[in-house]
Amino acid sequence: MTLKQLEAFYLAATLGSFALAAQRAYVTQSSLSKRIAELEAWVGAELFDRSGKRAQLTEAGQRLLPVAARMLELKEGIRDVLNSSPTLTGTCRFGISELGALTWLPRFVARVRTEHPQLVLQPLVDLGRRLERQVVRGELDFAIIPIPPENPQIAAHGIGDVHFTWMAAPGRVAPESVLTAQDLSRHPVITMSEGSGVTQAFDVWAAGLGLHMQRTVASNSLMAIIGLTMADVGLSFLPMDFMRPWVESGALVALPSDPPLPTMRYCFVHRADDHRAMLPTLLQCVSEVAQFSAPAGLSRKTTMT
């Protein structure tokens, strides 16, 4: 028996897919299947029932799974003890929202390339709820999404709060207005589409206050929402630190509301059963670089295009 055989079994069992397990182990699917077959020969029992469309753990496999998990955790612990600053290798697939991609992602990539040059990063930019589902399925190693998920299969670590405020084109609302529920009901609202964690949180906030607002436009692009707001299609709620250059240039007006919009907690999320040393290392890196403010010159470029 080898640790590679145990790892192949553990990944296939927890991810529910030999194909995904092979990707995570950086081997071909046939190599992964061979390792599992060798482990089955060593223990003298089948660990997967392969008679259906999808392999399922046998009783022997279910008994072995927690033991395999402990063995792999011990392997990670040995590496940590012997190397206080391990250099990461392999491939890391992670998810990030458009806001993160437009703000701190370049700093994160630059830092990882400096500290872990043998680690290949494969980012996926998408909406939060879609990214969460891919983390659960094991298709992503981690993701940065707004609002801690309630799924017990997910472990979440807060990396920062993002404050949202209402935005409008100049002239839509009287200057220095404080938007009330009645005001909000009179204006179209531009939002992210339903797969967005921010939109989900906004809907919960509005429902809790009994607010009934128009929603005429939904988009899965943050920059499109900014453009639509500047074109005076309606109001939108956007991250204040990111939007500050547009406000300072006079392209948009920031408007407080009573009650105020909720603050969004952005989280580093991964599968709760994933104990690889790579994750706390990258969590620390993300926590140190994640600042959700706009790069210099972004608003000017946007208004010109």
pLDDT tens per residue, range 277-301: 889 999 999 999 999 987 755 654 4
- The SS3 call for residue 30 is helix
Q: What average pLDDT does the structure give for the chain?
A: 88
The pLDDT score that the predictor gives to residue 123 is 96
pLDDT tens per residue, range 142-176: 999 998 778 899 999 999 999 999 999 999 988 78
**Peptide bond between residue 149 and the one before it cis (omega within 30 degrees of 0):** no
pLDDT at 36 > cutoff 90: yes
Strand positions, DSSP E, the chain: 48-49, 56-57, 90-96, 119-125, 142-146, 154-162, 164-168, 188-192, 214-219, 235-239, 253-255, 264-271
Q: What are the structure tokens assigned to 260, written together? A: 């105020």
Pair type for strands 188-192 and 214-219: parallel
The pLDDT score that the predictor gives to residue 55 is 83
pTM, two decimal places: 0.80
pLDDT at 223 > cutoff 90: yes
The pLDDT score that the predictor gives to residue 305 is 43
pLDDT at 117 > cutoff 70: yes
Q: What single DSSP character describes residue 256?
A: -
The domains found in the chain, sorted by start residue, are 3-82 (1.10.10.10), 90-159+267-291 (3.40.190.10), 164-262 (3.40.190.10)
What is the residue whose two structure tokens read 């309606």?
234
For residues 182 and 28, the model is more confident at: 28
